[in-house]
Chain A
Amino acid sequence: MAETRTVARTGVRRTPTTYVLRFVVAAYLFLLVAWPVSLVVVHTFEDGFTSLEGILSDPDVVTALWLTVRVAVIAVVINTVFGVGMSLLLVRQEFPGKRLLSALIDLPLSVSPIVVGLALVLVYGGRNGWLGPTLESAGFRVIFSTPGIVMATAFVALPLVIREVVPVLHEIGTEQEQAARSLGASSAQTFRRITLPAIKWAVVYGVVLSLARSLGEFGAVKVVSGNVLGQTRTATLMVEEKYLNFDQQGAYATAFLLAMVSVACIVIVAIIRPKEERR
């Protein structure tokens, strides 16, 4: 009897449990993510477009936004070149210490942003860092300046491209590449004509994720930037500053702009993903 009942149950897709589970999951995600995030939108548009117009006509905010965009783009370019190169090395080459390196690459994802900032200050700090004083006497300032912000941002987003590209490289194998090589293609040609088209979507996916992560970095940037208004204050630092100075409207509006970009990144990825799998 038990047998027929369970067969019937697995045969029919939907049982009351299905609906209970569905409801629990939807309610959990609504309370934890959807509702809070939507409130930021509500707060931003409470007085129509005035608070958005307010921050966009504030030169300090505009400077901060530009700095954030510039830093994020540089960090993403560095991480994309480094990431694709490193993925090729990790998947296609053999060298001593490869396994250790492959494990260490993931480290930036689980290191506290404050520790990242501290680590960079200890090496590149102008007064008593390991390399900082030498670099600074050569006229190159890292900490409390844009290069430091770029490094902090590149650090925290470092593994994202690699994590996307490595599995795809494993999956496509080396047959086509070897065929191209045996037909006389140079390694540059093989990469451009065979490998790159195959990993294209993984790279795009990694770039979008890195961009979202880079635009939003806060803790590491806070430590290395010095948070100087109009010079090294990024958009995320601006949100904190505005909130602590009781400019809630400004804080919500700036947060709204940042949230928009990151949600856009997620949606783009959600659209790209199935396309990549169809290929």
Chain B
Amino acid sequence: MSTTNTLDRTSGVGLGIAMTWFSLLVLIPLSAVVFTAAGGGWDLFWRTVTGEQTAAAIRLTVGQAALVTVVNVVMGTLIAWVLVRDHFRGKALLEVLIDIPFALPTIVAGLVLLALYGKDSPLGIDVANQRSAVFLAFLFVTLPFVVRMVQPTLAELDKEVEEAAASLGASRVTTFRRVILPSIVPAITAGAALSFARGVSEYGSLVLLSGNLPFRTEVTSVRILSSIENNNLAGAAATATVLLVISLAVIVLLDVLQRRVSGRG
């Protein structure tokens, strides 16, 4: 009992080393962003993030990420449903396809999308340098999140409850809405939060695809990078703080959700 409740010496040293590394790598640098943003005072911060071009970038990023998240909630749940409940040849291939956007380097993802939806598109669809390029890139990189959150929950669902609902006269739609949906909503929300956070912070896949046109296709990350390149670190930090606040909000939401899910189980 005592070994799990108090730190012995080895664990204490281990925790010390791990925390030092984690602080040097993650905590101190991220605080540096917030401190640098705060260093110029509230006025400067507010002027930076409400400046025309930055505000336009933030609006575009948040708007497209939200839109993509809505699509992911629907398509992700549908994909998870098919992967769990349906059986057919080639299903293993679809499983691999879902994970590709997660593993593919983002710059390669941009190039890949450009090959089908760019200037020389075999489909005749050219989204390069358009707003829809941002949407497409977000859609690609966020594909796995909702699917991978919903899939295990769906697989664990007790089929007997559905059969009971059906035998009591519930239609398929009613069974889905009243029996299945309530138990997968936390998983869908968690996937949606991750997908939104990923969309908002996306950079690499847009570099070649969106053209980074100010007021049209320039996303927040690109805006921050151009501030860095112009040696305006305070401005970059101010805009970066907005993104960090969004990331933190997502982390908090996920933590609350996870506690609720495990509390129920």
Contact = CB atoms under 8 A, between A and B. Distances in A.
Task: Please give me the 8 A-B residue pairs with the lowest Cβ-Cβ distance, nearest first.
Answer: A216-B105, A112-B201, A119-B29, A110-B197, A39-B115, A262-B103, A122-B32, A212-B103
17 contacts: A25-B82, A37-B104, A43-B115, A78-B21, A82-B18, A82-B22, A86-B18, A93-B11, A94-B4, A110-B197, A111-B244, A112-B203, A115-B33, A115-B244, A117-B228, A219-B221, A258-B104
Nearest to B174: A6
Contact of B32 (A92, A94, A119, A222): A119
Contact of A118 (B18, B33, B171, B252): B33
Interface of A: 2-3, 6-7, 9-10, 17-18, 21-22, 24-26, 28-29, 31-37, 39-40, 43, 78, 82, 85-86, 88-89, 92-95, 99, 101, 103-124, 130, 151, 154-155, 158, 174, 178, 181, 187, 209, 212-213, 215-219, 222-223, 236-237, 239-240, 243-244, 251-252, 255, 258-259, 262-263, 265-267, 269-270
Given A93-B11, A118-B233, A269-B99, A219 B28 contact: no
A215 B251 contact: no
A151 B166 contact: no
Nearest to B17: A85
Contact of B250 (A95, A110, A123, A255): A110
B29 A120 contact: yes
A189 to B, nearest CB: 12
B29 A122 contact: yes
B107 interface: yes
B204 A236 contact: yes
Contacts of B4: 92-94, 174
Contacts of B200: 112
A57 to B, nearest CB: 21
Chain A interface SS verdict (over half)? helix
Given A25-B78, A112-B224, A104 B97 contact: no
A244 B10 CA distance: 52
B10 A187 contact: yes
A222 B83 CA distance: 37
A232 to B, nearest CB: 16
Contact of B86 (A7, A18, A111, A114): A18
Contacts of B15: 89, 93, 95
A99 B258 CA distance: 12
B30 A259 contact: no
Given A216-B103, A263-B104, 18 more contacts: A33-B101, A40-B108, A89-B15, A92-B4, A101-B22, A108-B26, A112-B240, A113-B201, A113-B203, A118-B33, A119-B29, A121-B233, A213-B103, A217-B105, A223-B225, A237-B107, A255-B107, A259-B108
Contacts of B52: none
B19 to A, nearest CB: 8
Nearest to B248: A107
B115 to A, nearest CB: 4
Contacts of A43: 115
Contacts of A187: 8, 10
Nearest to A97: B19
A37 B96 CA distance: 12
Contacts of A181: 3
A267 B107 CA distance: 21
A143 to B, nearest CB: 11
A6 B251 contact: no
A220 to B, nearest CB: 9
A122 B221 contact: no
Nearest to B227: A118
Interface in B26-40: 26-30, 32-33, 36
A95 B14 CA distance: 13
A118 to B, nearest CB: 5
